[in-house]
Amino acid sequence: MVIKLKKQVIDVLKNLKDKKSDCLASELASELNLDYIVVMSAINDLSDAGLGGFKEEQIEQISLNAEGQSYGKNELPEEKLLSIIKKGKLKEMSVKDLLEKSKLDEKIFYIGLTNMKKNRWVAQSKASGEDKVFIITEEFPKTELKKFMEKILDNNNVLDYSGLSKEEIIQFNILNKRKLIKRERRTQRIIYLTDKGKKINLSNVSELKQESKITAEMLSSGSWKDYEFKPFDVSKPGPLLKGGKIHPVINLINEIREIFISLGFTEIRGPIVESAFFNFDALFQPQDHPARELHDTFYLSNPKVAKLPNKDRVIAVKETHENGGDSGSLGWGYEWDENIAKKTLLRTHTTATTIRRLAQYYENNDISPIKVFSIDRVFRNEKVDKSHLAEFMQIEGIVIGEDVTLCDLIGVISEFYKKIGFEKIITRPGFFPYTEPSMEISVYYDKLGEWMEMGGSGIFRPEVTYPWGIKNPTRVLAWGLGLERLAMLKFGRKDIRDLYINPINWLRRESY
Ligand code: PHE
């Protein structure tokens, strides 16, 4: 029976038959002047025909790095220093002169000096008042280190680590400490012929004219009839598409949006430029609260003052701060200043947006239940580093309902995290000036086996809801969760800035 094989495959087969032994794929590639990939694909064809195959072996190779190669070919720093002293036919020299003459970088000079002493070529002494080196031997045989370096270079700058002698391992360790050598693990492929391959008579093998593409020329000349066309392998991955794609963070935002919508929520948006009133005052945050300081909040000079809601609502908020108003609280007991509430700022949390929804609830005479969420940008005056950004996104939401409880709140939040891929969440008591009780939320991150903090939540205090006419038994469950933290876990990024500086390789892999 005649077997048809491509030309390179026949070449590889012939070569292996002549060799009568197994050989390294890389060696055969250089011998036949073929690409490694071509040889491996030929072996695959031989293996399909039952004529050959390959096995893999892990090896560790060592080779000198650029600096090591140059020392091996020329002089190690200690050799260079020695030549300088010898050249001057000197027996001694001051360290300062030697350093100057050598023109070596100081660090390398001292490495050389130390090794000259280790080799017992010179001694160093300050006895004469000057720091000097003295030659203390007459013979300078080639060091074991240099011999070893030359051996590596003579072998095309690679040696098999497992083939090193005990003495050579000592020299390897010295070179490794001096950062002149690398040790790399590699997979090496050994190719062989099967018995059938060894026995096959080459006269039973003929050349297969195979093409992968049909050309216009083949069509017009009719030569396509002489060719066999390579079948498509639909199991192989196609080329990576590098066109425009949706950014992974946008995909994640859309996924989160879908989840809340599927849970019956409606999306709300609010202004980025906010009043201190909605960002802080309506959240019962006292006007001297540290979070209001410039180092936490970006205040704006233009527009300088914000419009406040209807006078009666402003007064209701003012009274809760001063004496608790009708909320049953004692308030903070200070004189509330409307001008501070009118300051403009970049919102520091999207809780400002949910309070706007409470104001609307009052104005529209809405009825509960109401479930809304927002995924939006907030700003804080923070130093940017691998875990902090000065502008980031929050996943915020509220449920306004009669007799809703903390269990409902935990339920919504765990359902959300479950849908996004985190099965386990834990809630711990927390503190926010506007919720009581308050909870911190963490999710369990399998890959690290750690709990990661994700955000805060709680039930809005009466001081927050009463000014908007939301009174017992109607309550407001609220939460604010970090988006970027979640994105980092989902995408396995260790640096939060990666999400916005757009590392191109990551985007190509992650986007779709
Ligand atoms: N606003 C809080 C933050 O930015 C989160 C939060 C929202 C806490 C709603 C409780 C209720 O960290």
pTM: 0.60
Locate the ligand 1 atom nearest the alpha carbon of residue 439 and give its number. 10
Interval between CA 430 and ligand 1 midpoint (Å): 10
Q: pLDDT at residue 354 above 90?
A: yes
Contacts of 181 (CB under 8 A, 6+ apart): 62, 63, 64, 65, 68, 152, 172, 175
Average of per-residue pLDDT across 32-42: 92
Q: Which residues line ligand 1 (CB under 6 A)?
A: 349, 351, 432, 435, 455-458, 478-480
- pLDDT of res. 436: 96
Higher pLDDT, residue 92 or 68: 68
Contact 434, 351 (CB under 8 A): yes
Among 73-82, 85-94, 182-191, which is the least confidently predicted range?
Answer: 85-94
pLDDT (average), residues 184-191: 92
pLDDT number for residue 410: 97
Residue 233 dihedral angles phi and psi, to the nearest 5°? -100, 100
- Ligand 1 centre to CA of 202 (Å) is 78
pLDDT(512) > 70: no
pLDDT of residue 233: 82
Reply yes or no on whether the pLDDT at 163 is more than 80: yes
412/236: higher pLDDT: 412
Q: Does residue 340 surpass a pLDDT of 70?
A: yes
**pLDDT per position as a tens digit, 442-500:** 999 988 888 999 999 999 999 999 999 999 999 999 999 999 999 999 998 989 999 99
Dihedrals phi, psi of 373, to nearest 5 degrees = -140, 165
Residue owning the nearest CA to atom 10 of ligand 1: 457
46 contacts: CB under 8 Å, gap ≥ 6: 5, 9, 12, 13, 52, 53, 193, 197
Distance CA(265)–CA(397), nearest Å, equals 9
pLDDT of residue 448: 82
What percent of the chain lies above the pLDDT cut of 90? 81
Q: What is the pLDDT of residues 395-435, one digit of tens each?
A: 999 999 998 999 999 999 999 999 999 999 999 999 999 99
H or E element at residue 219 = helix 216-221
Q: How confident is the model at residue 511, as a pLDDT?
A: 66
pLDDT given for residue 230 in this prediction = 81
Two structure tokens written together for 358: 């409470």
For residue 374, what are its two tokens? 């927002």
Decide: 423 and 444 in contact? Cβ < 8 Å.
yes
> Which mutation among 292, 349, 388 tests ligand 1's pocket best, with the greatest number of atoms within 8 A of CB?
349
**Per-residue pLDDT reduced to its tens digit, 216-235:** 999 999 988 888 888 888 88
Q: Which atom of ligand 1 is nearest to the CA of 354?
A: 9
Distance, CA of 12 to CA of 29 (rounded, Å): 9
Q: Which of 296, 351, 379 to mutate to test the pocket of ligand 1 (most atoms within 8 A of CB)?
A: 351
Q: Is the pLDDT confidence value at 299 over 90?
A: yes
